[in-house]
Structure 1
Amino acid sequence: MHRFNAYRIFEKEGQVSARLVELGIDDLDPGEVLIRNSHSSVNYKDALAATGTGRVVRRFPVIGGVDVAGVVVTSGDTRFWEGEAVLVTGYGMGVEHDGGYAEYSRVPADWVVPLPLEMSSADAMAIGTAGFTAALAIMRMEQNGLKPANGPVVVVGASGGVGSVAVDLLAGLGYEVTAISGKDDQHEYMRHLGASQVLSRHTLEMGKKPLEKTIWAGAVDPVGGEMLAWLTRTMKQDGTIASCGLAAGIELHTTVMPFILRGISLLGIDSVQCPMALRRSVWERLASDMRPRHLKEMTRTIHFEQLPETFDALLKGAVKGRVVVEIQA
């Protein structure tokens, strides 16, 4: 089989770099399923990996990209067949196993999800890990008792990848959504996605009491840090927070009071090792009742050569919504 393009991450003397290279199928990591990739996406984790900022790569060299969608070329597992449209997100993709920034991927069969019939590969990658994380967060909160009648739900980092999809999905499900963002020029964008109220992170009065005024029935937080601590202090009785990111830091300074006096729940959202049964359920809902309503408006498409500048912009907080990588038609 001919050689193909791949965006590979290297390390030399402690310095991480990434570049476009030519590889052959035999250069790929082992797996039962070989996929001809059509699309991938850019997530915060991808930017951390390719720039070395977050030290998330566990093995060098490795092809970047935690997401991929395409068509099966060959399969050594009877669950998948040649020509079947599939997707892969999470697991070790792009950090310890060759990822989706290549024209071909070879992965373990246990990582592969059949592409829902109602969804294109491009749409699947417009959703990607970020959108999957948002949907998983909402489903976990629903399982914990959240419903629209409980009260408003807040989405932090609402103009980013996880946040944009979360606002869209929650509004589509009938929730009253408040969006919080540090990008004051994106308020109209967030209202368009379905937010009934948009708050600026820069003017937010967080207070310092162990318990502040109750506001939120639910919260999707891909930010962490001080913002997550504030959310714990402002949840309604039996409110639920889905913690799914650390853009603002890994430390959490709060008290036990919101948990034992208001009965709030803090749910950890792990989209990487999500069990396959739940993973398939999330994707089926994303193709049905949780289908994003404004996917095209929140998505832009790039090619391989635009990855470096996109990573830099993402880490600087200058990327709105989702970014799809078009690999081949």
Structure 2
Amino acid sequence: MSFLACRVFKDPDIRHELVQMETDELTEANTLIKVDYSSINYKDALAASGRGAIMKSFPLNAGVDLSGTVVESTDAALTAGDKVVVNGCGLGESFDGGLAEYARVDSQFVMKQPQGYSGRESMIIGTAGFTAALAIHRMENNGQTPDKGPIVVTGASGGVGSFAINLLSKKGYETVAVTSQASMHDYLQDLGATEVKTLSELELSDKPLAKAAYGGLIDNIGGETLSRLMASIDLWGNIACIGLAQSPKLQATVIPLILRGVSLLGVSSTNCPMGLRSELWNQFGQDMPLPDFDKILSQEIALKDVSPYFDELIDNKHRGRLIVNCQS
């Protein structure tokens, strides 16, 4: 069976092409899925553009997310016609990903489509929304509550940041959305941000312990910003560390951790245990509110049109979420 895929090669430079391939060329696994929707995440853009070392082998189809329909599986728990979701777990990194009309995935990574929202809406959530939900879950499991004070969200106009602002506001938190783009202020306020600020407007101190101004932090950029914000988190607040858009380096002191009980929590959506992964996906619309899909969705595009969007996303030319209709 011939189908279209966004395939990434290394020869020796990393590049992607839209190619026709056969299902028997896909990574070996026990479940064949017809991909209805995928999405473009920052990680996908890094992989397909060659601007980041994401893929473990080549060639591979890009895409760390997919929602679709089971075509066939040797796992008795899955039958042809089942609607399913896959995100992370090596998809688009260790084996062929979701930016294709078909994907073959090991059934241990496949989840039934949660009730309460559609496969298309699953891809608006995607890895970005799942990561934001995982960050909030980790923070709340460690005692984060709205009465501890506002949560700062850096990289707020991106996929993870947009979901974090929207979900936190729906859960009753005050939020401070941090963005470098003045054009994003109205968008972030519409998602529920209490305040929208630039990094300079935060007036961050370079002292190891600054005024305790915030209850917690969801950080998407790392580097100096994370280091300095740590000093401004109040007693027993939590920091969810997600991204490294500014820098992977962390040059800080332990003083906020040992004098204020601040916790630094790592958030890894790729290898989140399947039990917790399934629990969080099924909590949307229940313990975790459903996001405002129409506000967070930036654009829906066809698979054949993905190429320009990789560099554009890395260069911060899009807000919220880009989803891909793989069957259009």
Fold-level similarity (TM above 0.5): yes
Q: Which residue of structure 2 lines up, in the alignment, with residue 153 of structure 1?
A: 151
Distance in 2, matches of 1:64 and 1:146, equals 36
SS in 1 for 2:319: coil
Q: Where do 1:311-326 residues align within 5 Å?
A: 311-326=310-325
In the alignment, is residue 99 of structure 1 matched against residue 97 of structure 2? Answer: yes
Q: Which residue of structure 1 lines up, in the alignment, with residue 309 of structure 2?
A: 310
Answer with 280-289 or 184-193: which moved more.
280-289
Q: Match of 2:180, as an amino acid?
A: G
Are the counterparts in 1 of residues 163 and 291 from structure 2 also a CA contact under 8 Å? no
Are the counterparts in 2 of residues 154 and 180 from structure 1 also a CA contact under 8 Å? yes
SS in 2 for 1:297: helix
* Deviation of the 1:216 alpha carbon: 1.3
Q: Which residue of structure 2 lines up, in the alignment, with residue 138 of structure 1?
A: 136
Q: Match of 1:326, as an amino acid?
A: N
Q: Which residue of structure 2 lines up, in the alignment, with residue 72 of structure 1?
A: 70
RMSD: 1.1
How many residues get paired?
Answer: 327
Q: Which residue of structure 1 lines up, in the alignment, with residue 296 of structure 2?
A: 298
Distance in 2, matches of 1:109 and 1:283, equals 17
Q: Match of 1:218, as an amino acid?
A: G
Q: Where do 1:77-88 residues align within 5 Å?
A: 77-88=75-86
SS in 2 for 1:83: coil
Distance in 1, matches of 2:100 and 2:132, equals 26
Are the counterparts in 1 of residues 222 and 244 from structure 2 also a CA contact under 8 Å? yes
Distance in 2, matches of 1:285 and 1:169, equals 12
* Deviation of the 1:202 alpha carbon: 4.2
Q: Which blocks of at least 5 consecutive residues in structure 2 are unaligned?
A: none
TM-score, normalised to structure 1, is 0.97
In the alignment, is residue 213 of structure 1 matched against residue 198 of structure 2? Answer: no
Q: Which residue of structure 1 lines up, in the alignment, with residue 249 of structure 2?
A: 251
Answer with 197-206 or 50-59: which moved more.
197-206
Q: Which residue of structure 1 lines up, in the alignment, with residue 277 of structure 2?
A: 279
Distance in 2, matches of 1:113 and 1:249, equals 33
Distance in 2, matches of 1:11 and 1:202, equals 40
The one of 15, 37, 40 equivalent to 2:38 is 40
SS in 1 for 2:24: helix
Are the counterparts in 2 of residues 116 and 287 from structure 1 also a CA contact under 8 Å? no
Runs of 4+ more than 6 Å apart = none
The one of 239, 242, 254 equivalent to 1:241 is 239
Q: Which blocks of at least 5 consecutive residues in structure 1 are unaligned?
A: none
Distance in 2, matches of 1:61 and 1:323, equals 24
Are the counterparts in 2 of residues 182 and 202 from structure 1 also a CA contact under 8 Å? no
Q: Match of 1:325, as an amino acid?
A: V
Q: Which residue of structure 1 lines up, in the alignment, with residue 22 of structure 2?
A: 24
Percent identity at matched positions? 43
Are the counterparts in 2 of residues 168 and 292 from structure 1 also a CA contact under 8 Å? no
Q: Where do 1:113-192 residues align within 5 Å?
A: 113-192=111-190
Are the counterparts in 2 of residues 229 and 252 from structure 1 also a CA contact under 8 Å? yes
Q: Match of 2:60, as an amino acid?
A: V
Note the alpha carbon deviations across 1:263-305, whole angstroms, 9 max, x for none.
1000000100100110011101124342343211221101123
Distance in 1, matches of 2:32 and 2:208, equals 53
Q: Which residue of structure 1 lines up, in the alignment, with residue 106 of structure 2?
A: 108
